[in-house]
Amino acid sequence: MVSATVAYLASDECSVAGEIILTQGGLMQRLALAMNEGYTNPECTPEDIQAHLNEILDDSTAKPLGGIGTDDETSLLDIV
């Protein structure tokens, strides 16, 4: 199955760029990297991390990073 995925991604018919496709045992899945709004504190301490861990890990504000080198690319500056 890995070779079929590689062959498609290398073909002229491939319509995606900058995507990560995980392939194993007949299962193909998209792996997406995302960033949320997070927590900002230039004077952060370990205690701040603990106190704001839910905010740091909150997926409700997460936005997937777009395909690298494509029009739908989202930069780090777009997210924060």
In a shared domain, residues 24 and 40: no
Q: How far is CA 59 from the centre of its chain?
A: 12
The reported pLDDT for the residue numbered 63 is: 85
The reported pLDDT for the residue numbered 33 is: 84
CA–CA gap between residue 36 and residue 47 (Å, rounded): 20
Please tell me the total count of domains within the chain.
Answer: 2
In this prediction, the residues of the chain whose per-residue pLDDT falls under 50 are none
The reported pLDDT for the residue numbered 68 is: 56
In a shared domain, residues 38 and 17: no
Rounded to two decimals, the pTM is 0.53
CA–CA gap between residue 1 and residue 39 (Å, rounded): 41
The reported pLDDT for the residue numbered 18 is: 80
In a shared domain, residues 28 and 38: no
Strands (DSSP E) contained in the chain are 20-24, 27-31, 34-35, 63-64
In a shared domain, residues 40 and 75: yes
The reported pLDDT for the residue numbered 72 is: 58
In a shared domain, residues 37 and 75: yes
In a shared domain, residues 38 and 7: no
In a shared domain, residues 37 and 73: yes
Range of 65's domain? Answer: 33-79
